[in-house]
Amino acid sequence: MMCGLEIHVQLETESKLFCECKTNYKEAPANTNICPICLNQPGAKPYPTNEKAIKNALMISLMLNCKIEQNQAYFMRKHYDYPDLSSGYQRTSIPIGYEGELNGIRIREIHMEEDPGQYKPDRGTVDFNRSGIPLIEIVTEPDIKSPEEARNFLKELIRVLQYSKGARGEGTMRADVNVSINGGNRVEMKNINSIKGAFKALKFEVVRQKNLTKRGIEIKQETRAYLETQMITVSMRDKENADDYRFIPDPDLPPMQISDKQINDIIEIMPETPYNKAKRFEKQYGIDKESAKVLTSEIDLADTYENVVKEISPEFAALWMKDELKRVLTYNKIDLVESEITSQDLIELFNLLENKKITTKAGQRIIEKMPNEEKTPKVLAEELGLIGVVEEDGIVKAAKQAIDENPKAVEDYNNGQKNSINFLMGQVMRLTRGKADPGETVKILNDLLK
């Protein structure tokens, strides 16, 4: 399989690319964030290109290791007829960044575009609030060899975009996926709007092309639509050529000049990429590769970790944040920001654990209660009666009692049913009200049973 991606994402700006209309198109009533410029009414001239949009596009290009077109990054008019495009052309820049790389996949180019409006064919209405919102299109070389690789690349790309704070992330993503097998004709799938969608569309399309090839049918070069609900692709139209778009330079916009200073200023404030951050975490905090990867999977998680390790041992914090915190967030289907769990909360909890004021088991119970909870971990621990750890003597005593009271479990254990120790362990936990350390308890039970 050979696959290349064209990924559109909206840039994070207050106003549109060539006018002062706001970009909060989702909240605003239909056709209220509009003006003669973004409706392309006759005689309306664009303002100079939004500087924030240029800056964001440059930063993303640099974070994706691209070279920058400094001398004549101009806008072209790309012509096509569709109800979402009032002018009949879309302004699209020549590549601003080119020859980049991410995850071993080469990036051919990154250019800026204006978003068209939103046409709803079933109702026959168009909402132009979105018209003129700045986009970037990121185009890869056809280096992707499997649906899994496409998924990994997109995940990493979304992470970089989040880190850059210059783009709006997966929620605004639209990807076109080009795929061919065994050097056959290339099929383009349009308007896939999630990582999962891209993965499933590719899986389907590869099977479809393989089946056609097996039956000796040549694969047609065409554009297909991916139908999310049915998880299939259907033919849309035969592929148009670049000629069909009748590209011409936009005479209303001067070419953008990008100075060395502009680039250096961006490099100065550019966030570390997730990849580099993970590398640094491994080295600086002495944690393993897997932990570093998980902890840098969200910028907020990474920032929080760096706050926490000012007071907590890095390995201990990594273990708890990677396993327990992540588990709780995944279970609740929220990210760290939505959970309202702060660095301070985690420091308080980890202090209780590190100073053996509570057991691991108690810590797990507390962290489960922490999302969107106003009480601090310490207050939670007190309210739940979890403060205090039973010392070894206490565990031995409870273990002996559990063994005495449950001869059947002991017999099962002696007959080779080793997992009956879990039952005895539950009894010890009950007797110590969850304040015995599980690791120690298992050891003591094993010794006593022997």
Q: Is 341:324 a contact under the CB 8 Å cutoff? A: no
CB of 292 to Zn ion, least distance (A): 44
In the bound state with Zn ion, the residue whose beta carbon lies nearer, of 38 and 301, is: 38
Under the binding rule (CB under 5 A), the answer on residue 381 touching Zn ion is no
In the bound state with Zn ion, the residue whose beta carbon lies nearer, of 37 and 198, is: 37
In the numeric block, which tokens belong to residue 46? 């664009």
The window from 29-37, 100-108, 299-307, 427-435 that contacts Zn ion (CB under 5 A) reads 29-37
Residue type, 14: E
CB of 129 to Zn ion, least distance (A): 10
In the bound state with Zn ion, the residue whose beta carbon lies nearer, of 46 and 363, is: 46
405 SS3 class: helix
The window from 12-20, 23-31, 284-292, 332-340 that contacts Zn ion (CB under 5 A) reads 12-20
In sequence order, what are the beta bridge partners of 4?
178
CB of 117 to Zn ion, least distance (A): 11
In the bound state with Zn ion, the residue whose beta carbon lies nearer, of 130 and 151, is: 130
Tell me, by CB under 5 A, how many residues bind Zn ion.
5
In the bound state with Zn ion, the residue whose beta carbon lies nearer, of 38 and 287, is: 38
402 SS3 class: helix
CB of 21 to Zn ion, least distance (A): 3
User: Among residues 1, 11, 17, 21, which is the contact residue for Zn ion, using CB under 5 A?
Assistant: 21
In the bound state with Zn ion, the residue whose beta carbon lies nearer, of 75 and 350, is: 75
User: Among residues 7, 19, 258, 317, which is the contact residue for Zn ion, using CB under 5 A?
Assistant: 19
Q: How far lies 321's CA from each of 17, 196, 296, 326, 346, in Å?
A: 40, 26, 11, 6, 9
Q: Is 12:22 a contact under the CB 8 Å cutoff? A: no
In the bound state with Zn ion, the residue whose beta carbon lies nearer, of 130 and 224, is: 130
How do 187-192 and 222-227 pair as beta strands? parallel
CB of 23 to Zn ion, least distance (A): 10
Q: List, in order, residues 6 or more apart from 39 with CB less than 8 Å away.
A: 86, 128, 131
- Residue for token digits 């007959």? 415
d(CA 440, CA 422): 13
d(CA 106, CA 104): 6
CB of 16 to Zn ion, least distance (A): 5
In the numeric block, which tokens belong to residue 321? 């944040």
CB of 20 to Zn ion, least distance (A): 7
In the numeric block, which tokens belong to residue 105? 């996949």
CB of 347 to Zn ion, least distance (A): 47
In the bound state with Zn ion, the residue whose beta carbon lies nearer, of 54 and 133, is: 133
Site for Zn ion in 32-61 (CB under 5 A): 35, 37-38
Q: What is the DSSP string of 213-257?
A: HHTTPPPP-EEEEEETTTTEEEEEEEPPPGGGG--EE-TTSPPB-
d(CA 207, CA 195): 19
Contact footprint for Zn ion (CB under 5 A): 19, 21, 35, 37-38
